[in-house]
Amino acid sequence: MELLTVIVFNLVLILHNKAKLARYFESICGVLCTSLSKTLARNEVNFRRAMTILCDDDASTFKALPDDADASMRATFKHLYCTVVGRLYESVGAKADGAKQAAVVESFLVDILERLLAEGDCKNMCYLLRETRRYKPSEKFATAVVQYVVKFIQSEELRDQDQEAAEVNRSLVPIALGWGYPELSQRITEATKADNVQESVKGAITEHYLQSFENTMTFLCTSCEEAQFDDIKCALEGIAKNKHSLGEEEIQLIERAVLMSLTAAATSLGDKGDSEEASEATESTDSENDDSESLFQRRL
């Protein structure tokens, strides 16, 4: 098992260093990681060995990374590390008896998210979340994902990042809102409908969820720059496409967020021109939003 891991990752290193294969790098890595994760999840022995390797404090090197590896090579390994763990989560989750193993991987994924948050590594947070969204997460893991993403996009370090890092971070927004919140909402809805749950607990769960939802939507629509409005749209579309039927309060929160973002956009445009024209643009936007309210609800 250890040998298989070393072989796969050394092969990826070779690909990484071949300029002619650069454009195929992501696809080849995906195939290799999928194959490796399925092998690791095949039986309990393989799975335990895999977790022993992955959970090693020096796991980011997989004991195969040369001491003189440059920053690019180390970044490549970190990417692969997140991809393999994410696909291992998917592989064990797809098994009929994989719930127990999935819980083990989920616990480990939370540790990785915490490490990536501490390092300010938004790129690999995106990789990890893209991989894990393929398998229906537990409420605990969905909650952790949303908390980490929200914490990250609100961090001071983010404001000091270069343009490329900021661009990558923007994709966290639709990932977090388009996947984490609808999934969490559905599970909370199921939990609050259960007969054995006290009404006070149901109320507390619902209130906490709606407050978190509102806080994040408010943050996105008031703190994001003009260039990020498209990502807010993607986030809303991700929520709308989710099969779970959103509640009335959630729809109201989304509508409020849309109004805020449109108003902010109109204000931003107005600042560049005449203040009177900005006022007319804001009124027009508000009017159009009122007219399309029922259509927006139908789409949801």
40 with 173, same domain: the answer is no
What's the DSSP call for residue 133?
T
The residues near 191 (Cβ < 8 Å, ≥ 6 apart) are 139, 197, 202, 205
pLDDT tens figures, 77-96? 677 777 777 777 777 766 76
**Domain boundary residue among 135, 164, 196?**
135
- pLDDT band at 112, cuts 50/70/90? confident
Q: For residues 218-237, b (16+ Cβ closer than 10 Å) or e, as one string?
A: eebbeebeeebbebbebbbe
91 with 23, same domain: the answer is yes
* pLDDT average, residue stretch 117-140: 67
Calculated CA dihedral for residues 81, 87, 91, 94, nearest 10 degrees: 150
Q: The pTM is what?
A: 0.49
Write out the H or E segment, with its range, that includes residue 246: none
Choose the weakest-confidence range: 72-76, 92-96, 101-105, 276-280. Answer: 276-280
The yes-or-no verdict on residue 151 having pLDDT over 60 is yes
Determine the pLDDT at residue 85.
74
Determine the pLDDT at residue 102.
75
**Domain boundary residue among 135, 165, 190?**
135
The residues near 133 (Cβ < 8 Å, ≥ 6 apart) are 175, 179
155 or 141: which leads in pLDDT: 141
* pLDDT average, residue stretch 144-149: 65
* pLDDT average, residue stretch 60-69: 52
Determine the pLDDT at residue 119.
73
93 with 182, same domain: the answer is no
Determine the pLDDT at residue 116.
76
* pLDDT average, residue stretch 121-144: 66
228 with 109, same domain: the answer is no
Determine the pLDDT at residue 88.
74
111 with 199, same domain: the answer is no
Number of domains in the chain: 2
285 with 144, same domain: the answer is yes
Q: How many H-runs (helices) and E-runs (strands) does the chain carry?
A: 16, 0
CB atoms within 10 A of CB 282: 18
CA distance 299 to 6: 49
- The string of DSSP codes covering 143-166 is HHHHHHHHHHHT-HHHHTS-HHHH
Choose the weakest-confidence range: 32-41, 50-59, 123-132. Answer: 50-59
CA distance 61 to 268: 46
Determine the pLDDT at residue 190.
57
Q: Residue 271 is part of which domain span?
A: 137-300
250 with 161, same domain: the answer is yes
pLDDT tens figures, 158-182? 555 555 555 555 555 545 554 445 5
